[in-house]
A and B are shown apart, each in its own frame.
Chain A
Amino acid sequence: MNRSTREELQREIDRDRRAERMMVPYALLAVAVIAVIMVVREVFFV
């Protein structure tokens, strides 16, 4: 494996590693959706 290939593959690893950080906002988005439904419930149906 030459140096440029190695560097390119390492960049790919770093890119995918950074992409995993999106898991946090995805989970927060899911919590937000549930929170909105709960608010609608509390305001209009309880």
Chain B
Amino acid sequence: MLDSSSVAGTTLTYVLLVLVALGALPIIAMGYQFVLIPFHAFRNHYAKAAPYLPRVAVVIPAWNEGAVVGTSIDNLMALEYPADALRVYVVDDASTDDTPDVVLAKARQYPGQVFHLRRAKGGEGKAHTLNHGIAIILEDDWMEALLIMDADVVYLPDSLRKMTRHLADEKVGAVTAYIREGSLKKNYLTRFIALEYALSQAASRRAQNVMGAVACLAGGAQLHSRANLEELGGRIDTSSLAEDTVTTFKTQLAGRTVVFEPHAVVLAEEPQAVAALWKQRLRWGRGNVHITRMYRKLWFRKQEGNRLGSLDFGLVWFGVAFQPVAMVLSSVGLVGLYFLESPVSAQVFRTFWALAACTYIFTMVVTIALDPVTGRKTLREAIFFPGLVSVVITVATFFPGLLEEDVPALLGVELSDGILRAWTLFVYSWITLSMVGAWIVKRVDSTRAGRFVSPVLVYLVGYGPILCAITVDSYVKELRHADASWDKTEKTGRILA
């Protein structure tokens, strides 16, 4: 007969194992996405694409973009696209710098192609600014497709025509491009961001093409058919900080397809300091929390005409949103098993970490292979994306005895049981501690020493944990109903033109 403490211990062990399993869900979601990527070879939209050069109206929201908007307009005018089928509308959101002068000078330089639209009252956010321009563009029937872009992005010459070809299929409502980090002089952070964009766009968006559900049209590269825009009510949602994601969802819920075009490349300027990155991603994160709530009746419910409610898309969506929670659950599970002195704890830890390591290696190799331009510049960041500490733990897990026995033996030392136990407890907890480390990076970055210490800390703690910590911050801010004003990322025009 079983005694009650034995039953409680067994039950607790199972509970902790479930926590570890839940913690592995984001890893499984990531692995699943990357396993889909090779299927993009056969399941893509190219068979339905056709030569098509519609009249495109480009709308650029601009608030104090004087440093960058002139170059962006010149770049658009130099696109390999028929000049008589391209118009640029800069919606000046009551800028207080020289944006109006720059745009008006470009309007004189490109008569009939560049237009300056000014809002008398600004500061209401990107969506309001866009809507001002879209309403004017829709007043006549010249526009056949609308390109929404940011003032600072640079389109490669062939990118627009590579996007429009998908609109030849009337079922396609919108097309997005591959936003690549394009700073002329990259620092450690922009290299991490470059790699992240290759992972989250060039790679993951291909998987979403295969799934038949795209999570987000990039804010700097959204091409809509006129029919789609009119079906959306001729305006962009203004209730969210992630208006581009809302537009993406609404397009697909209306039964239209969203296509990611990986060969259309758009260069964007990204933050060079952790504080600026945190501010930008917090806005995105809060927008995603808002959308998760907004579409709460959509998740994991099959629907006619779109795959947003499918199991796999839900797994991918919540794999990102749920990741910080998963990290904490896995740590709690592993540390709990350790203190229970469960005989399975070491095996569970090794399995968990090996799954994470294999997924990580697979994703990085695929990403570097499919964007070798970025891959060549970010090899160091590819290794240290999860942080040096996690890399050491991965090596220790993959090669049992290497760090506990072989390396100390080489150094002529022997690790005591106490040190080994402390090390074990540390590695079991690191998944959660890494987010605390990320928060410390943010604090240090805003100090005078941050300029020198931050890069070291980012490589140590990892870029991935920083993104997770920002997600936690977005949960907290949303729960507290903190002020959600639209806070623009500062741009300086240091993009690779």
Whether the pair A13, B369 counts as a contact (CB closer than 8 A) is no
Q: Which residues of chain B have C-beta atoms less than 8 A from A23's C-beta? A: 37-41, 206, 370
Of the residues B262, B362, B366, B399, contact of A44 by C-beta under 8 Å: B399
Whether the pair A16, B263 counts as a contact (CB closer than 8 A) is yes
Q: Which residues of chain B have C-beta atoms less than 8 A from A30's C-beta? A: 34, 361-363, 365-366, 369
Which single residue of chain A is at the shortest CB-CB distance from B82?
Answer: A1
User: At the interface with chain A, which of B43-51, B100-108, B109-117, B450-458?
Assistant: B43-51
Q: Which residues of chain B have C-beta atoms less than 8 A from A33's C-beta? A: 361, 365
B408 touches A (CB below 8 Å): no
Whether the pair B369, A26 counts as a contact (CB closer than 8 A) is yes
With A27-B366, A46-B400 known as contacts, the answer to whether A13 contacts B49 (CB < 8 A) is: yes
Would you give the shortest CB distance from A19 to chain B, in whole angstroms? 7
Please encode chain A, from 17 to 45, with 1 for each CB lying within 8 Å of some chain B CB and 0 for all others: 10111111011111101100100110011
Q: Which residues of chain B have C-beta atoms less than 8 A from A21's C-beta? A: 41
Number of B positions contacting A (CB below 8 A): 34
B305 touches A (CB below 8 Å): no
**Which of A6, A20, A37, A40 has the most chain B CB within a 10 Å cutoff?**
A20
Whether the pair B399, A41 counts as a contact (CB closer than 8 A) is yes
Of the residues B37, B162, B370, contact of A12 by C-beta under 8 Å: B162
> How distant is the Cα of A23 from the Cα of B366 in the complex, in angstroms?
8
Of the residues A13, A26, A44, A46, contact of B46 by C-beta under 8 Å: A13
B415 touches A (CB below 8 Å): no
With A10-B51, A33-B361, A34-B361 known as contacts, the answer to whether A26 contacts B38 (CB < 8 A) is: yes
Q: Which residues of chain A have C-beta atoms less than 8 A from B39's C-beta? A: 23
With A45-B402, A46-B400 known as contacts, the answer to whether A24 contacts B41 (CB < 8 A) is: yes
Q: Which residues of chain B have C-beta atoms less than 8 A from A24's C-beta? A: 38, 41
Would you give the shortest CB distance from B362 to chain A, in whole angstroms? 5
Which single residue of chain A is at the shortest CB-CB distance from B206?
Answer: A23
Whether the pair A9, B51 counts as a contact (CB closer than 8 A) is yes
B398 touches A (CB below 8 Å): yes
Of the residues A10, A14, A45, contact of B400 by C-beta under 8 Å: A45
Which single residue of chain B is at the shortest CB-CB distance from A15?
Answer: B263
Please encode chain B, from 217 to 255, with 1 for each CB lying within 8 Å of some chain A CB and 0 for all others: 000000000000000000000000000000000000000
Whether the pair A16, B46 counts as a contact (CB closer than 8 A) is yes
B165 touches A (CB below 8 Å): yes
> How distant is the Cα of A42 from the Cα of B402 in the complex, in angstroms?
13
Which single residue of chain B is at the shortest CB-CB distance from A40?
Answer: B399
B122 touches A (CB below 8 Å): no
Q: Which residues of chain A have C-beta atoms less than 8 A from B49's C-beta? A: 13
Whether the pair A19, B263 counts as a contact (CB closer than 8 A) is yes
Of the residues B35, B47, B51, B365, contact of A1 by C-beta under 8 Å: B51
> How distant is the Cα of A16 from the Cα of B49 in the complex, in angstroms?
11
- Restricting to B147-206, which residues have a CB under 8 Å from any CB of A? 158, 161-162, 165, 206
Would you give the shortest CB distance from A4 to chain B, in whole angstroms? 11
> How distant is the Cα of A24 from the Cα of B161 in the complex, in angstroms?
26
B401 touches A (CB below 8 Å): yes
Would you give the shortest CB distance from B167 to chain A, in whole angstroms? 13
> How distant is the Cα of A27 from the Cα of B362 in the complex, in angstroms?
8
B419 touches A (CB below 8 Å): no
Q: Which residues of chain A have C-beta atoms less than 8 A from B53's C-beta? A: 1, 5, 9
With A26-B366, A27-B366, A29-B369 known as contacts, the answer to whether A20 contacts B399 (CB < 8 A) is: no
**Which of A6, A14, A17, A30 has the most chain B CB within a 10 Å cutoff?**
A30
Of the residues A9, A27, A37, A44, contact of B37 by C-beta under 8 Å: A27
- Restricting to B318-364, which residues have a CB under 8 Å from any CB of A? 358, 361-363
Q: Which residues of chain A have C-beta atoms less than 8 A from B362's C-beta? A: 27, 30-31, 34
Whether the pair B399, A45 counts as a contact (CB closer than 8 A) is yes
Of the residues A9, A10, A13, A37, contact of B361 by C-beta under 8 Å: A37
Please encode chain B, from 284 to 295, with 1 for each CB lying within 8 Å of some chain A CB and 0 for all others: 000000000000
- Restricting to B51-86, which residues have a CB under 8 Å from any CB of A? 51, 53
- Restricting to B243-279, which residues have a CB under 8 Å from any CB of A? 262-263
Would you give the shortest CB distance from A44 to chain B, in whole angstroms? 7
Q: Which residues of chain A have C-beta atoms less than 8 A from B369's C-beta? A: 22, 26, 29-30
Q: 8 new A-B pairs (CB below 8 Å) besides A13-B46, A30-B361, A30-B362? A: A9-B53, A13-B49, A20-B44, A22-B369, A24-B38, A26-B370, A29-B369, A31-B362
16 residue pairs A–B, Cβ–Cβ below 8 Å:
A9-B165, A10-B51, A13-B46, A13-B50, A14-B46, A20-B262, A23-B39, A23-B370, A24-B38, A26-B366, A26-B369, A27-B362, A29-B366, A30-B362, A33-B361, A44-B399
